[in-house]
Structure 1
Amino acid sequence: MLKRFFILCSGVDKDIVESCANGEQNKYAGIGATVFFTAIMAFIASGYALYTVFDNPYMAIGFGIVWGLLIFNLDRFIVSTIKKRDKFSTEFWQATPRIVLAIIIAIVISKPLEIKIFEKEINAVLLKQKNDMALSNKKQVSNFFKTDVDKNKAELDSLKSAIKSKEKEVSNLYTSYITEAEGTAGTKKMGKGPIYKEKRNAYDLSVRQLDSLKNANAKIIAEKEIRAKELQANLDKKVSETQPVIDGFDGLMARINALNKLPFIPSFFIMLLFLAIETAPVIAKLLSPKGEYDFKLEDKEMGIVNMLTQNRYQSELQKKTDAEIYDKVYAEIKEDRELFQYKKKGAMELLKLQADGFVEKQKKSM
């Protein structure tokens, strides 16, 4: 049962191969098995490739089945159309387009499976790329808000700096009038003299100015701090909105590009493996000697060719003979006097009718 199925996969003529020896049947069963398992690998590869794109197992399986059947049909067609000839060079040139097609199919099949085999290494490359993209994205978003953030920060710093400057001034005035009272600075006379009173008045005035400045700036500072939080919240929101796009950067094209960043040799040898598998049926057909099946197929084809050649010759001969017969028949009819008189009578009647019709038309037009 399995042997018959693989023979069916090889694309050979069932009636002819069943009349061949067991060894010949095993040869084509092996070729058919290679075609079948190549289609299975094509199904797995295409299914995984589509799963990485749509993340839908049902769609991936459906497309994988269609793609596997397509590859199966192509391989079966390639193998079945290669016929053994008397010269290897003739067979090779006949198989060259099919080998090129097999190479293309092998590359298409191998790439998704390479992505699966090197999945961990590809994930590492993608993680690094995502991190770089996240940093770059955050930098771009920050640059977008930079003008507003810097302006708000500068205004906030200016308000706080004015308060600190005033506080420093109050502190210096406080030290000045205290040291004047103690006699350690200023006039260096202990006691609360006129100079002390002037410095104390200056300090009191500065304290009132500081309180007024704090009251005036407190509301503005609060607004600026709220504005700073809003700007930071908008920045974080923008970053969080764009982050899913970066997190989703693991599709088929991204993985193929990541695969290309890995060392070339391992990927190349995997592709060679699939290339060997895909071209195996064609190579096996080319290298195998001309067997019983090939002789019987050639004999059957020659019988059809001979029959068609004979039919074509008979058709040409019949056409030539019929032409000669009709030439003689019409030559004899040409000499028949009775037929001539009958034809003449009909022609005369037709000419009279035409003449009468012409006269009637002339009368109507006058």
Structure 2
Amino acid sequence: MLQRFFIFCSGADTEILDTCSNGERNKYAGIGATVFFTAVMAFIASGYALYTVFDNIYTAIFFGLIWGLLIFNLDRYIVSTIKKRDNFKGELLQAAPRIVLALIIAVVISKPLEMKIFEKEINQVLLEEKNAMTLDNKEQLALQYTPKIESLNQDIANLKGEVATKETETNALYDTYISEAEGTAGTGLLGKGPVYEEKREKHDAALAELNALKETNGDKIENIEAQIAALQSDYNIAVADSQPIIDGFDGLMARINALGKLPWFPSFFIFLLFLAIETAPIIAKLLAPKGEYDYKFEEQESVVATWVTQKVEQRKLLLSTDGEINQQIYTDIKNEEELYRYKKQKAEELLRLQADSFHNVQVKGL
């Protein structure tokens, strides 16, 4: 039962193969088993690749099964259409397009499994790329907010500078009127005289202006700090909103690119392994000696080709003979006098009838 299933997978003619030896059947069962397991590997590889795309196991299994069946059908067709001939170069030329197709299939099959085999290394590469992308993203977003924040901070510094300048002026006036009262500066008289009162009034006026300036600038600073806090909040929200996109940067293309950054040597040998698996049925068919099945299959093809050629030649001969006979018959009819007179008589009768009909129409019109 299993042998018949693998023979079916090989694409061989079971009716012819049933008449062959057991060794011949085993050979084609082995070729069919290679075709079958190649399709199984294609199903596993494509299923994993599609799972990385859709992130849904049922969708991956469904489309992976379709891909596996497609590869099975292609491999079965490739093996079944390679016919053993006595010329190896001719067989190789016949199989060349199929080997190229097998090469493409091997690439498609091997890449997803390479990604699974080197999954940990790929995850490390992706982690480094995600970290770099996170830093770059923060820097790019900061370019939108930092100039505004720096400008607002400069406004705060200017407002604080105005207060500090005014405070320095007020302190200087305070020192002036105190020195006047102590007699260490100004008039040099000890006590609170008219000059002292004048300088004290200037200080008190400056102090009132300083307190008013502190209150006004304090309100402005609070307003600016609120704007800075809002911008900082917007920046944090923008970073948080874009982070899931970076965290989700692990799709099929990202993993393929990450795989390309790993050393090529192990991946190359995995590719060669799958290339050997994919081309094994073709190579086995090319290298196998011409067997009993091949002779019987060639004989059956020869019988059909001879029968078709014979039928075509018979039809050509029949057409040629029938044409010659028809040509001779119509030539004889052309020379027949009795037929000529009969057709002349009928033509005269037709002309008379036409003339009578025309005459009757004209009479009715009058």
TM-score, normalized by length of structure 2? Answer: 0.88
After superposition, the C-alpha distances for 1:155-188 in whole angstroms (9 at most, x for unaligned) are 1121122223334444555566667777888899
**Residues 291 and 183 from structure 1, CA distance in 2 versus in 1: closer, same or farther, beyond 3 angstroms?**
farther
Find the counterpart in structure 1 of residue 33 from structure 2: 33
Identify the residue that residue 254 of structure 1 maps to in structure 2: 254
Moved more, 168-177 or 78-87: 168-177
Q: Which whole-Å CA distance do the structure 2 matches of 1:213 and 1:317 have between them?
A: 121
Match of 2:211 in 1: 211
Shift of 1:358: 8.0
Q: What corresponds to 1:3 in structure 2?
A: 3
1:82-126 C-alpha deviation (Å, 9 max, x unpaired): 001110000011111111111111111111222222222222222
Question: Counterparts of 1:70 and 1:362 in 2: how far apart (Å)?
Answer: 82
Shift of 1:303: 0.6
Cα distance in 1, alignment partners of residues 360 and 125 from structure 2: 100
- Structure 1 gaps of 5+ residues are none
- 1:317 is displaced (CA, Å) by 2.5
The whole-number CA distance in structure 1 between the counterparts of 2:91 and 2:120 is 44
Counterparts of residues 190-205 of structure 1 (less than 5 Å): 203-205=203-205
Aligned amino acid, residue 50 of structure 1: L
When structure 1 is superposed on structure 2, of 291-300 and 306-315 the one drifting more is: 306-315
- Separation in 2, partners of 1:61, 1:16: 37
Q: Distance in 2 between matches of 1:168 and 1:104?
A: 83
Which residue in 2 is equivalent to 1:67?
Answer: 67
Specify the alignment match of 2:128 in structure 1.
Answer: 128
Q: 1:190 Cα deviation (Å)?
A: 7.7
Q: SS of 2:9's equivalent?
A: helix
Cα–Cα, structure 1 residues 362 and 306, in superposed 2: closer, same or farther, change >3 Å?
Answer: farther
Q: Which residue of 1 aligns with 2:78?
A: 78
Bigger drift between 195-204 and 336-345 goes to: 195-204
**SS, match of residue 32 in structure 2:** helix
Task: Name the CA distance, whole Å, in 2 between partners of 1:114 and 1:239.
Answer: 34
Q: Which amino acid aligns with 1:150?
A: E
Identity %: 59
Alpha-carbon shift at residue 352 of structure 1 (Å): 4.5
Distance 2:121 2:362 in 1: 101
Shift of 1:58: 1.6
Where 1:127 maps in the other structure, the secondary structure is: helix
Correspondence for 1:51: 51
2:82 is paired with a residue of what secondary structure? coil
| Partner SS, residue 20 of structure 1 | coil
Q: When the two structures are aligned, how many residues end up with a matched partner?
A: 366
Q: CA RMSD in A?
A: 3.0
Deviation track 1:210-244 (CA, whole Å, cap 9, x = no partner) reads 22211111211111111110111111112222222
The alpha carbon displacement at 1:76 in A equals 0.6
> Are residues 116 and 195 of structure 1, via their aligned partners in 2, closer, same or farther at CA, if it must alter by over 3 Å?
farther
Superposed displacement of residue 356, structure 1: 6.5
In structure 2, relative to structure 1, the CA distance for the partners of 1:354 and 1:262 (3 Å cut) is farther
Q: Which residue does 1:17 correspond to in 2?
A: 17
In structure 2, the gaps of 5 or more residues are none
Assess, with a 3 A threshold, how the Cα gap between structure 1 residues 138 and 358 changes in structure 2: closer, same or farther: farther
Distance 2:133 2:361 in 1: 94
Task: Report the counterpart of residue 339 of structure 2 in structure 1.
Answer: 339
Cα distance in 2, alignment partners of residues 61 and 289 from structure 1 = 39
